[in-house]
Amino acid sequence: MIPQHIRHHTQRGLSLIELMVAMAISLFIVFAIVSLFGRSSALARNQDQNAEMQETARFSTQEIARMARQAAFNNSGSGWSSASAPVTINSSTTFSDQLVIRLQPAAAGNTGTMQDCTGETLDNSTTQVTNTFSVRLNGNTRQLVCDSQRDNGTINTVVLADNVEAFRVLQGFAIGAANLITGDSSNCTVAQYLKSGLSTNTPLLAIRIGLVVRSLQPVAAADRNAPTTFNLLGDDASSAVSLAQGDLSYPAASGGASSYQATFKRRIYTTTIFLRNQCPK
């Protein structure tokens, strides 16, 4: 009988070096996945913050435009009958003007289709309504608010939006004509925009609004914009409106010095509104 030779196959595992290389590659892959996930999450949060800021600006300008387009409205057909101008702009603070808009809804034909800035319906029992828009500091938040005052002195206040840090307005004056209502409609063209406190002898025809809106939550440093100056409106000495970081500071909770909250993101939004009741129909 011929003996059979049994072959022994030697099996080898991973060497220490091979194991360390495999672990290093695995760790690199895990680190890349975690970094990608973290960046994706930060990007999603950043997009949410941008959307929130955009919505705040959209709603704020929409509500101001709704009231501004009713400025100088008089439902009696006899024209504006108040000694007060239908639209005035007063400088309140460095970060906020006061935009005052007046209308006169009282008339037999008014069936309650108009509303003030608080959303309250106006009928023919209200002779004049004065709506005043401004930004106010409420604790550690700045808010865009509107005060609506009736001719009987009653004032209702509504907060339109949180995190509106600045609200400034330029006045757009017509190219000529002392009275656009009875004059030539061709004069219904804006000649220049001026800051509050400046004026001409021509009628106010439009307003240009500038807002600084802050993010709801702090954002990562890579996603912040950190200007030292916010160029809000205008481009010359009579119309330029710029704010420094100190103008957007908040008082310390302990009563100490005010400080600028640099961990938040900020954006500037502008819009121009034509005062349609200031011109011939």
| Alpha-carbon separation of residue 166 from 93, 97, 138, 148 (angstroms) | 9, 9, 13, 20
pLDDT in tens, 181-228: 555 667 788 888 998 888 888 888 899 999 999 998 888 787 777 788
Q: pLDDT band at 157, cuts 50/70/90?
A: very high
Main-chain phi, psi angles of 234, to 5 degrees: 75, 170
Q: pLDDT band at 153, cuts 50/70/90?
A: confident
pLDDT in tens, 10-63: 656 667 787 888 888 888 888 888 777 666 666 767 788 889 999 999 999 999
Share the mean pLDDT of the chain. Answer: 82
Distance CA 161, CA 142 (A): 9
What pTM, to 2 d.p., does this model score?
Answer: 0.80
Decide: 77 and 251 in contact? Cβ < 8 Å.
Answer: no
80: pLDDT strictly greater than 90: no
Q: Which of 119-128, 167-176, 194-203, 205-214 has the highest mean pLDDT?
A: 205-214
